[in-house]
Amino acid sequence: MATACNMFTVSTLRSVTFASLNHHHHHSSFDIASLNRSSFPAGFIFGTSSGAYQYEGAAEKFGRGPSIWDTFTQYPDNILDRSNGDVAVDQYHRYKEDVEIMKDMNLDAYRFSISWPRILPSELNIRD
């Protein structure tokens, strides 16, 4: 029996794209003005997620080794605006504030990642 996986992406254009990731790959959009928890099936889990490089920051602190992205972004021609993840949104230092915001939003779940170079700082060629 195949299980359908539902994904909702909220954009800044005030619309939601619904993609049912089953064999039919059905896509539809609708206005989110009337969207609330009762718009979803019982048991639906509302959450957010983050990726280490984009969120973590503290790139050279507390023993974290360099990641492949740290190395890549140090070359001026690789990133048009020369941005990098050295500070990112600084979740490393602001995680308590972030958790409070998630609680205020009444979220059920949070998926986060921790950069491998923070876990295994002395390993070579570790990728985030």
The mean predicted confidence, pLDDT, of the chain is: 76
Residue 123 confidence (pLDDT): 59
Predicted TM-score of the model (pTM): 0.61
Q: Token pair of 90, please?
A: 């600084």
Residue 8 confidence (pLDDT): 45
pLDDT tens, residue by residue, 7-49: 444 433 334 444 444 444 455 566 777 888 888 899 999 999 9
What is the C-alpha separation between 19 and 27, in angstroms, rounded? Answer: 5
- How many angstroms separate the Cα of 76 from the Cα of each of 59, 83, 85, 109, 116? 18, 9, 14, 37, 24
